[in-house]
Amino acid sequence: MRIRLFAALAALCLSAVAAEARTVRWSASGDPNTMDPHSQNVGTVTMVLQQIYDPLIQRSRTLGLAPGLAVSWEQVEPTRWRFRLREGVRFHEGQTFTAEDVVFSIDRAKQPTSNFGIYVDTIESAVAVDPMTVDVITRVPDPILPNKIASVFMMSRSWSEANGATRPQNTRQREEIHTTRNTNGTGAFRLANREPDVRTVLARHADWWGWREEGTGNVTEIVFRPISSDATRIAALLSGEVDFVLDPPLQDLQRLRSAQGVSVLEGPEVRTIFLGMDQFRPELLYSDVRGRNPLSDLRVRRALYQAIDIQAIQRVTMRGQSMPTGTLFPEQVNGYAREEDVRLPFDAARARALLAEAGYPNGFEITLDCPNNRYINDEQICQAIAGMWSRVGVRTRLNAMPLGPFFAKIQREDTSIYLFGWGVPTLDALYSFQSLLASRAGGQQGDGIWNYGGYSNARMDALISRMRTETGDARQAAIREALNIFREDVPLIPLHHQMIPWAMRSNISIPHMANNQPYFRWAVVN
Amino acid sequence: MRAFFDSDLWWSFTRSRITVASAIVAFICIGGAFMAPLLAPHDPFDLASLQLMDAFTPPIWTAEGNPTYPLGTDDQGRDVLSAIMYGARVSLFVGFAATIFATCVGVLVGLLAGYLGGTADALLMRIADIQLTFPSILVALLVDGIVRAALPREVHDQIALFVVVFAIGISEWPKFARTVRGSTLVERNKEYVLAARVIGLSKAKIMLQHVLPNVLGPVLVIGTLNLALAILAEATLSFLGVGVPPTQPSLGTLIRIGNDFLFSGEWWITIFPGVALIVMVLSVNLLGDWLRDALNPKLR
Amino acid sequence: MLAVSFISFAMFTYVGDPVAIMLGQDFTEAQRAALVAELGLDQPFFVQFLKFIGNAVQGEFGLSYRLSRPVAELIAERAPATLELALCAAVIAMAVGVPMGVYTGLYRHSILSRFFLTFSLIGVSLPTFLIGILLILIFAVALGWLPSFGRGDVVRLGWWTTGFLTVSGLKALILPAITLGVFQLTLIMRLVRAEMMEVLRTDYIKFARARGLSNRAINFGHALKNTLVPVITIAGLQLGAIIAFAIVTETVFQWPGMGLLFIQSVGAADVPVMAAYLMLIALVFVTINLIVDLLYYAVDPRLRIGKGAH
The DSSP result for A475-493, as a single string, is HHHHHHHHHHHHHHH-SEE
How far C153 CA lies from chain A's nearest CA (Å)? Answer: 10
Instruction: Say if residue A216 is in the same domain as residue A299.
Output: no
Task: Tell me, yes or no, if B281 comes closer than 8 A to chain C by beta carbon.
Answer: yes
What does each C-alpha distance from A372 to A236, B271, C267 come to in angstroms?
Answer: 23, 23, 11
| Residues of chain B with C-beta less than 8 angstroms from the C-beta of C198 | 298
- More confident site: C217 or A226: A226
- Name the domain count of chain A: 2
Residue from A38, A174, A176 whose CB has the most chain C CBs within 10 Å, to mutate: A174
Residues 6+ apart with CB under 8 A from A473: none
Residues 6+ apart with CB under 8 A from A196: A31, A33, A181, C67, C69, C74
Q: Provide CATH code, domain C74-309.
A: 1.10.3720.10
Separation of alpha carbons C259 and C81, rounded Å = 10
Instruction: Say if residue A331 is in the same domain as residue A203.
Output: no
Mean pLDDT of A269-284: 94
The DSSP result for B35-99, as a single string, is THHHH-SS-TT-GGG--GGGTTPPPTTSTT--TT-TT-B-TTS-BHHHHHHHHHHHHHHHHHHHH
Nearest by Cα to A59 from A514, A498, A524 = A514
> How many CB pairs (< 8 A) connect B and C?
91
What does each C-alpha distance from A494 to A368, A478, A505, B60, C135 come to in angstroms?
Answer: 15, 20, 35, 37, 42
- More confident site: C67 or C261: C261
Q: Is C301 in contact with C226 (CB distance < 8 Å)?
A: no
Task: Tell me, yes or no, if C20 comes closer than 8 A to chain A by beta carbon.
Answer: yes
Burial of A141 (0-12, 13-18, 19+ CB in 10 A): middle
Those chains having 3 or more beta-carbon pairs within 8 angstroms of chain A are B, C
| Residues of chain C with C-beta less than 8 angstroms from the C-beta of A173 | 38-39, 63
Query: Hey, what's the torsion of the CAs at A149, A152, A153, A159, to 10 degrees?
Result: -110
Interface of C with B (CB under 8 A): 7-8, 10-15, 121-122, 124-130, 133, 137, 141, 197-198, 201, 237, 240-241, 244-245, 247-248, 251, 263, 266, 278, 281, 285, 288-289
- Of A120-129, A316-325, A485-494, B181-190, the poorest mean pLDDT is in B181-190
Separation of alpha carbons A389 and B47, rounded Å = 9
Q: Are strands A199-204 and A221-226 parallel, antiparallel or unpaired?
A: antiparallel
pLDDT at A400 over 50: yes
Instruction: Say if residue A414 is in the same domain as residue A304.
Output: yes
Those chains having 3 or more beta-carbon pairs within 8 angstroms of chain B are A, C
Q: Which of A174, A407, A423 sits opposite C62 (nearest CB)?
A: A174
Residue of C nearest to A116 (CA): C26
Residue A231 lies in a domain: no
pTM (whole model) above 0.90: no
> What backbone phi and psi angles, to 5 degrees, belong to C275?
-60, -45
Residues in chain A: 526
Please give the pLDDT value at position C48: 59
Q: Which of C19, C38, C68 sits opposite A176 (nearest CB)?
A: C68
Residue from B151, B255, B260, B271 whose CB has the most chain A CBs within 10 Å, to mutate: B260
pLDDT at A63 over 70: yes
> What backbone phi and psi angles, to 5 degrees, belong to A150?
-65, -10
Mean pLDDT of A395-400: 89
Instruction: Say if residue A320 is in the same domain as residue A429.
Output: yes
Q: Cβ contact (<8 Å) for C121 and B259? A: no
Instruction: Say if residue A419 is in the same domain as residue A295.
Output: yes
Reported as a single tens digit per residue, the pLDDT across A105-125 is: 999 999 888 878 878 888 999
Q: Which of A251, A313, A395 sits opposite B264 (nearest CB)?
A: A251
Q: Cβ contact (<8 Å) for A380 and B247? A: no
Q: Which of C35, C74, C267 sits opposite A172 (nearest CB)?
A: C35
ipTM over the 0.90 cut-off: no
pLDDT at A149 over 90: yes
Separation of alpha carbons A323 and A314, rounded Å = 7
Please give the pLDDT value at position C60: 63
Please give the pLDDT value at position C95: 87
Task: Tell me, yes or no, if A252 comes closer than 8 A to chain B by beta carbon.
Answer: yes
Angle at A95 between CA A92 and CA A100, to 5 degrees: 120
User: What is the SS3 string spanning A351-403?
Assistant: HHHHHHHCCCCCCCEEEEEEECCCCCCHHHHHHHHHHHHHHCCCEEEEEEECH
Nearest by Cα to B255 from B83, B58, B92, B93 = B83
Residues 6+ apart with CB under 8 A from B271: B258
Nearest by Cα to B132 from B176, B181, B172 = B172
Task: Tell me, yes or no, if A261 comes closer than 8 A to chain C by beta carbon.
Answer: no
Query: Hey, what's the torsion of the CAs at B30, B36, B38, B41, to 10 degrees?
Result: 130
How far C182 CA lies from chain A's nearest CA (Å)? Answer: 21
Separation of alpha carbons A96 and A101, rounded Å = 9
| Residues of chain A with C-beta less than 8 angstroms from the C-beta of C27 | 115, 449
Q: Which of A231, A312, A316 sits opposite B262 (nearest CB)?
A: A231
Residue A295 lies in a domain: yes
Residue A253 lies in a domain: no
pLDDT band at A101 (very low <50, low <70, confident <90, very high): very high
Tell which phi-psi region holds residue A215, choosing left (phi > 0), alpha (psi between -120 and 50) or beta.
left
> What backbone phi and psi angles, to 5 degrees, belong to C118?
-60, -45
Domain B92-250, classified CATH 1.10.3720.10, yes or no: yes
> How many CB pairs (< 8 A) connect A and B?
65
- Of A137-141, B3-7, C284-288, the poorest mean pLDDT is in B3-7
Please give the pLDDT value at position C33: 58
Instruction: Say if residue A373 is in the same domain as residue A318.
Output: yes
Residue from B17, B239, B289 whose CB has the most chain C CBs within 10 Å, to mutate: B239
Separation of alpha carbons B163 and B187, rounded Å = 35
What does each C-alpha distance from B52 to A324, B64, B74 come to in angstroms?
Answer: 16, 16, 10
Would you tell me which residues 39-58 of chain B have a C-beta closer than 8 angstroms to some C-beta of chain A? 47-48, 50, 52-53, 55-56
| Residues of chain B with C-beta less than 8 angstroms from the C-beta of A251 | 75, 260-261, 264, 266
Residues 6+ apart with CB under 8 A from C270: C18, C64, C65, C66, C67, C264
Separation of alpha carbons B8 and B295, rounded Å = 9
Separation of alpha carbons B34 and B22, rounded Å = 18
Residue of A nearest to C16 (CA): A405
Would you tell me which residues 183-242 of chain A have a C-beta closer than 8 angstroms to some C-beta of chain C? 195-198, 225, 227-229, 231-233, 235-236, 238-241
How far B15 CA lies from chain C's nearest CA (Å)? Answer: 16
Residue from C14, C82, C125 whose CB has the most chain B CBs within 10 Å, to mutate: C125
pLDDT at C120 over 50: yes
Mean pLDDT of C32-60: 58
pLDDT band at A1 (very low <50, low <70, confident <90, very high): very low
pLDDT band at A495 (very low <50, low <70, confident <90, very high): very high
Q: What are the DSSP E strand ranges found in chain C?
A: 155-157, 160-162
Please give the pLDDT value at position B10: 72
Please give the pLDDT value at position C13: 46
Query: For all residues of chain C together, what is the average pLDDT?
Result: 73
Would you tell me which residues 311-370 of chain A have a C-beta closer than 8 angstroms to some C-beta of chain C? none
DSSP A447: T
Q: Which of C14, C125, C245 sits opposite B281 (nearest CB)?
A: C125
Those chains having 3 or more beta-carbon pairs within 8 angstroms of chain C are A, B
Residues 6+ apart with CB under 8 A from B201: B209
Separation of alpha carbons B45 and B78, rounded Å = 9
Q: Cβ contact (<8 Å) for B264 and A405? A: no
Going from N- to C-terminal start, the domains of chain C cover 2-57, 74-309
Mean pLDDT of A197-221: 91
pLDDT at A443 over 80: no
Residue A259 lies in a domain: no
Separation of alpha carbons B251 and B80, rounded Å = 11
pLDDT band at C309 (very low <50, low <70, confident <90, very high): very low
Q: Cβ contact (<8 Å) for A251 and B247? A: no
What end-to-end distance do the CA atoms of chain B give, in Å?
24
> What backbone phi and psi angles, to 5 degrees, belong to B238?
-65, -35
Distance of CA C133 to the CA centre of its chain: 19
| Residues of chain C with C-beta less than 8 angstroms from the C-beta of B141 | 247
Q: What is the CATH number for A172?
A: 3.40.190.10
Q: What is the CATH number for A309?
A: 3.10.105.10
Please give the pLDDT value at position A509: 93
Q: Is A365 in contact with A393 (CB distance < 8 Å)?
A: no
> What backbone phi and psi angles, to 5 degrees, belong to B51?
-110, 105
Query: What residues make up the domain containing A283?
Result: 269-499
Q: Is B226 in contact with B127 (CB distance < 8 Å)?
A: no
Please give the pLDDT value at position B289: 79
**What pLDDT tens digit does each residue of chain B (300 aa) get?**
555 666 666 777 777 777 788 888 888 888 888 877 878 788 877 777 777 888 888 888 887 878 888 888 888 888 888 889 988 988 999 999 999 999 999 888 888 888 787 888 888 887 777 776 666 777 777 676 666 656 666 666 677 788 888 888 888 888 888 888 888 887 777 777 778 878 877 777 777 777 777 777 788 888 888 898 899 888 888 887 777 776 778 888 888 888 777 777 778 888 889 889 988 888 888 888 788 777 765 444
Mean pLDDT of C204-209: 73
Instruction: Say if residue A372 is in the same domain as residue A483.
Output: yes
Mean pLDDT of A268-292: 93
